[in-house]
Amino acid sequence: MNFSGVWKANLEKSKLFGPAPKAMRVKIEHSDPTLVEEILITKIDGSEDRVVFRCVTTGDEIINSIRSAVVRSCARWEGAELVIESWMNVGDRESYFRDHWSLSDHGQVLTMEHRNDDLAGQITMLERIEKL
């Protein structure tokens, strides 16, 4: 399973919490065990947020910084799904995220689904627009 590519969120098919973006593009460079995800979110007002997230699929912990917050993450394969777990402090509370990534049979749709975590029920559907 390889997630490399440039992906565009299908916002109509996604279920996102918080303010809905105008658009979301994700560039993923994946050469197992290394995965680098660059997310570009275009807000309704046209401003942009860019986030870079790195992990390894060996289950080892990696430290990322997202908007000046420290994020501890580990990723591992569970069958055909990549499960990425992350912990970050938001105020005086530690938030927990467990993101399940899966590809459609034809490899053109990437589903990122949160289950049993602080974003449980959020699902992002991404369509491949370019192979890397």
CA angle 45, 122, 73 (to 5 degrees): 95
CA distances (Å), 63 to each of 60, 73, 84, 126, in order? 10, 6, 13, 25
Please name each of the domains of the chain with its CATH number. Answer: 5-130 (2.40.128.20)
Residue 17 is classified by DSSP as -
Is-contact 9 124, C-beta < 8 A?
yes
Instruction: Give me the residues paired with residue 34 across strands.
Output: 31, 56
pLDDT band, very low/low/confident/very high, at 69 (cuts 50, 70, 90): confident
Helix, strand, coil percent content, the chain, rounded in steps of 5: 0, 65, 35
CA angle 27, 74, 32 (to 5 degrees): 55
pTM comes to: 0.91
Query: Tens of pLDDT along 11-39?
Result: 999 999 988 899 999 999 999 999 999 99
Q: Span 74-102, mean pLDDT?
A: 94
Query: What is the token pair recorded at 77?
Result: 């394969």
Q: Span 60-89, mean pLDDT?
A: 93
